[in-house]
Amino acid sequence: MGGINPVKWWIFLYLSTYLTINNIALSSTNNGVSKKTYIVHMDITAIPTTFTDHVSWYSSLVKSIAVPLDDFNEEEEERVMYTYQSAFHGMAARLSEEEAERLEDQNGVVSVLPEVRYELHTTRSPMFLGLEPQDSTSVWTDKLTDHDVVVGVLDTGIWPESQSFNDTGFTSVPAHWRGVCEVGRGFEKRHCNKKIVGARAFYRGYEAATGNINEEKEYKSPRDQDGHGTHTAATVAGSPVHGANLLGYAYGTARGMSPGARIAAYKVCWTGGCFSSDILSAVDKAVTDGVNVMSISLGGGVSSYHRDSLSIAAFGAMEKGILISCSAGNGGPDPVSLTNVSPWITTVGASTMDRDFPGSVKLGSGAMLKGVSLYKGRRNLSPKMMYPVVYTGSNSSSPDPGSLCLEGTLDPHVVSGKIVICDRGISPRVQKGQVVKQAGGIGMILSNTAANGEELVADCHLLPAVAVGEKEGKAIKQYAMTGRNPTANLAFYGTKIGIKPSPVVAAFSSRGPNFLSLEVLKPDLVAPGVNILAAWTGDMGPSSLETDRRRVAFNILSGTSMSCPHVSGVAALLKARHPEWSPAAIKSALMTTAYIHDNTYHPLHDSSTGGLSSPYDHGAGHINPSKAVDPGLIYDIGPQDYFDFLCTQGLTRIQLMVFAKFSNRTCHHSVSGPSDLNYPAISVVFPEDKRVSSLTVHRTVTNVGPPVSKYHVVVSEFKGVNVKVEPSTLNFTKKYQKLSYKVTFTTKTRQTAPQSGALIWKDGVHRVRSPVILTWLSPL
């Protein structure tokens, strides 16, 4: 992979292509026996009375099953790397496979899971969301209570010098905060302030898997040299910065979604990846530190609730009243590509904003094709000239290695002095530009393939470059392959706002259905995740290429990594306004007020197909912060309800115990099936058995609006199905009063395609909307 560092490789791979996760062998060898990191979940109630604390119990357990080293001159390495005690009970330990198997049989051990590597899901957004505080009547005018909320950001660390973290005007640190400011290379106590109230770094799992951190090359401290963590933290809660821009693009005031909230940075991602033992330790510490919201823009492909450590830790955090917002992943537009699907997590997909960075390609034939670009530099092409253009692929509809501009595939004799056409895929988009530049090319046309369709993502390339859609790309490639002395030129038009239609669901945003439980609709919602401007590290150029010597205070990035912190920030605002609301209540408010139309008043579209998007693409819809603060009704869910949901998922007693934390949590059977979890979305699955034609789901709403409120229900029509809601009116007389209703869906004719619609409670002021999706499993 040459000059590009490996972490960039996989971040961009993830951002640009499909997600593939594997349980990579994260092992080191000691005396010929290879050891790996394992996450061990413990039943704390099984602690023998001979031990006074869990730490000595864990370490004695590990000693009892460990194979002693042959060579006793060699120092016994520390086997227990972390102990966990607030999000769940357990430890991370270095074990051989045999030791792990033996440990699993010990009394008190609930499960032993191998370390997993997770991946990052890499200023106009506040205005686009109706969050501009200029209007003093707006509910979004800064309130002092906003300063009481701390958002923990699990990412690549933070660049504390960024103006987005300027704490001028802030009150003192909230009294409930117990976090610390860890020091290390490039990070001192003074780098924390009243905005960055905590900073920690977690690297034991990383070092165990990949060897000691090279401190010359990497800050073994909370300092962010990657930029991703600075960008997400600033999106959550960045202070307003006037005149923010990237090389003149996207000029305006940059501000986070909750500029009054505090940030605690938990650095869990390093140049070699993000490791579950480190992530879990961060979640565990964040719970005791006192964060109110956690923003986690990373994920891993895990196939069950009880084997996904992040899901288990998030369950423990939810029990403590902490809302966890996670990115859905960048595996779209493939169906069933979601990560972080647990119902107690808020799963965020990505959509576009009404801002664009237009560019164009002019061909010698006279044709003019539109695209996007963030290019700014001295190497501008002369507008009066035409330059030779070349496509090294052989077939405009199926890319080959040369056409992808992979490292070492371009012949300088062929491309030197020319504008080169490169297909998207396999390698990072900005790296293709570097390859073209190094081979002597003077410009690049980056063409989408069928995988990305017409969706355009702007990048800060090292040479003049325009990204074009699949259709435009095909036309350009045809011309370059068949024309005589084909020529082209590129033009850049800066920033354009008011783009219609927007929002549109991003092609890369991971899609449902939820492979773990069809009855829980995921993603939960979408938020801006395309071409987002936010603060950046001073250690890396905007293209994230090592060869990029440019330094910028702000950068433009795309991914569900960017949409997740938008929701985390809005959740922080809701938490500040409604401190008594549970994480489920906040999520409900966000979901039931989301909208499903664009700025042309048409239903939301899907960028990958150009057609209408479905709840599997956008969940409940696009976040609508100013409505979410006053949702009228909420669908609340407590820890025991989530546990009872898990009881319907076919987990064994031992698998359930991972979530029980204390073995005294048991199934109360409060829900008769997974569809009855009090989720703000309704997903009904008709079984293969054709005799089951009627299904009923139950919901309970809590009145958080005026004490005396009368709601009536409106349900959309579904093809081949009768719907009945009982009762069809809800008359509240008190605040926080709970009323229940049931919905019965009766199939008249089974459908092959899922049917979607909505169920809405209205009181004349509020519209409490739940997306509804009906699926018929095909008979075997």
Residue 682 CB, nearest approach to ligand NAG (Å): 20
Q: Which helix (H) or strand (E) holds 660?
A: helix 653-660
The nearest distance, CB 446 to ligand NAG, in angstroms, is 20
Looking at 41, 121, 228, 605, which residue is catalytic?
A: 228
Q: Is 142 a catalytic residue?
A: no
Least Å distance between CB 161 and ligand NAG?
8
Smallest separation (angstroms) from ligand NAG to the CB of 23? 33
Q: Which of 395, 600, 722, 740 binds ligand NAG (CB under 6 A)?
A: 395
Could you tell me the smallest distance in angstroms from the CB atom of residue 69 to ligand NAG?
37
Judged by beta carbon, residue 38 or residue 159, the one nearer ligand NAG is 159
Q: From the centroid of its chain, how far is CA 380?
A: 36
**CB of 670: closest distance to ligand NAG in angstroms?**
14
What's the min distance (Å) between Cβ of 400 and ligand NAG?
10
Residue 777 beta carbon to ligand NAG: minimum distance, rounded to whole angstroms: 34
> Using CB under 6 A, which residues numbered 526 to 545 contact ligand NAG?
none
Closest CA to 506 of 613, 594, 428: 613
Residues 355 and 83: their CA atoms lie apart, in Å, by 46
CB 264 within 8 A of CB 150: yes
From the CB of 596, what's the least distance to ligand NAG, in Å?
28
For residue 617, the minimal CB distance to ligand NAG (Å) is 26
Question: Binder to ligand NAG among 397, 600, 694, 740 (CB under 6 A)?
Answer: 397
398 is a contact residue toward ligand NAG (CB under 6 A): yes
Nearer to ligand NAG, 259 or 329 (CB): 259
* Site stretch for ligand NAG (CB under 6 A), options 79-87, 394-402, 417-425, 646-654: 394-402
CB of 672 or CB of 729, closer to ligand NAG = 729
User: For 508-538, what is the HEC assignment?
Assistant: CCCCCCCCCCCCCCCCCEEEECCCEEEECCC
Question: Stretches 330-338, 442-450, 454-462, 724-732: which one binds ligand NAG (CB under 6 A)?
Answer: 724-732
Least separation in angstroms between CB 584 and ligand NAG: 19
> What's the one-letter identity of residue 733?
T
- Nearest CA among 386, 377, 544, 403 for reference residue 464: 377
* Using rule CB under 6 A, residue 740 touches ligand NAG: no
Instruction: Convert 9-37 to b/e letters by CB count within 10 Å (16 or more is b).
Output: ebbbbbbbbbbebeeeebbeeeeeeebbb
Q: How far is the CB of 664 from ligand NAG (least distance, A)?
A: 4
Strand partners, 244: 252
Q: Does 733 bind ligand NAG (CB under 6 A)?
A: no
Give the nearer residue to ligand NAG in terms of CB position, either 664 or 749. Answer: 664
Distance of alpha carbon 647 from the chain centroid: 27
- Decide if residue 729 touches ligand NAG (CB under 6 A): yes
Interface segment toward ligand NAG; rule CB under 6 A; list 33-41, 340-348, 667-675, 723-731: 723-731
Non-local (6+) Cβ contacts of 513 within 8 A are 335, 336, 521, 522, 616, 683, 754, 775
| Helix 560-577, helix 228-237: angle, nearest 10 | 30
**Burial of 219 per CB tally in 10 Å (0-12, 13-18, 19+):** buried
Is 121 annotated as catalytic?
no
φ/ψ (deg, to 5) at 236: -65, -55
Query: Which 635-674 residues touch ligand NAG, going by CB under 6 A?
Result: 662, 664
Going by their DSSP bridges, the two strands 496-497 and 355-356 should be labelled as: antiparallel
Residue 517 and residue 674 in contact, taking contact as beta carbons nearer than 8 Å: yes
Q: Which is nearer to ligand NAG, 206 or 536 (CB)?
A: 536
Positions in 693-722 near ligand NAG (CB under 6 A): 710
Q: Which of 32, 95, 36, 87 is nearest to 61 (CA)?
A: 95
Q: At what angle do helices 653-660 and 309-319 cross, to 10 degrees?
A: 50
Q: Does 50 bind ligand NAG (CB under 6 A)?
A: no
Binding to ligand NAG (CB under 6 A) within 131-170 occurs at 166, 168
For 72, residues 6+ apart whose C-beta sits below 8 A from its C-beta are: none
Is 465 within 8 Å of 424 (Cβ atoms)?
no
Virtual torsion, Cα 422, 425, 430, 434, nearest 10 deg: -50
Residue closer to ligand NAG (CB basis): 34 or 398: 398
**Closer Cβ to ligand NAG, 732 or 776, answer by number:** 732
CA distance 207 to 598: 47
> In terms of CB distance, is 417 or 727 closer to ligand NAG?
727
Q: Binding of ligand NAG at residue 727 (CB under 6 A)?
A: yes
Q: Tabulate helix, strand, coil % of the chain (nearest 5).
A: 25, 30, 50
CA angle 757, 563, 139 (to 5 degrees): 80
CB nearer to ligand NAG: pick between 88 and 203: 88
For residue 178, count CB atoms less than 10 angstroms from its CB and return exposed for 0-12, middle for 13-18, buried for 19 or more. Answer: exposed
The two most distant CA atoms of the chain are separated, in Å, by 86
Nearer to ligand NAG by Cβ, of 397 and 716: the residue is: 397
Give the x-and-dash track for 583-612 against ligand NAG (CB under 6 A).
------------------------------
H-run or E-run covering 389: strand 387-391
In order of 176, 195, 280, 382, 736, the CA distances from 290 in angstroms are 6, 15, 16, 57, 26
> Does residue 544 carry a catalytic annotation?
no
Identify whether the C-beta of residue 360 lies closer than 8 Å to the C-beta of residue 540: no
Q: Taking CB under 6 A as the rule, does residue 49 contact ligand NAG?
A: no
Q: Which stretch binds ligand NAG (CB under 6 A): 62-70, 83-91, 524-532, 725-733?
A: 725-733
Residue among 167 and 539 whose Cβ is closer to ligand NAG: 167
Which stretch, 201-209, 393-401, 501-509, 770-778, contacts ligand NAG (CB under 6 A)? 393-401
Interface segment toward ligand NAG; rule CB under 6 A; list 407-415, 502-510, 562-570, 727-735: 727-735
Q: How many residues bind ligand NAG (CB under 6 A)?
A: 11
- Name the catalytic one among 561, 563, 568, 582: 561
Q: Closer to ligand NAG by CB, 52 or 382: give it.
A: 52
Beta bridge partners of 444: 420, 465
Which CB atom, from 117 or from 195, has the smaller least distance to ligand NAG?
195
Determine the residue type at 548.
D
Q: What six digits make up the tokens of 627?
A: 């409505």
Q: Which stretch binds ligand NAG (CB under 6 A): 338-346, 395-403, 575-583, 606-614?
A: 395-403
Among 31, 731, 740, 746, binds ligand NAG (CB under 6 A): 731
Of the listed pieces 279-287, 327-335, 392-400, 624-632, which binds ligand NAG according to CB under 6 A? 392-400
Positions 68 through 97 that interact with ligand NAG (CB under 6 A): none
**Residue 349 near residue 509 (C-beta atoms within 8 A):** yes
Q: Looking at 43, 148, 155, 641, which residue is catalytic?
A: 155
Contact 444, 464 (CB under 8 A): yes
Tell me which residues touch ligand NAG (CB under 6 A).
166, 168, 395, 397-398, 662, 664, 710, 727, 729, 731
Mind telling me the catalytic residues? 155, 228, 561
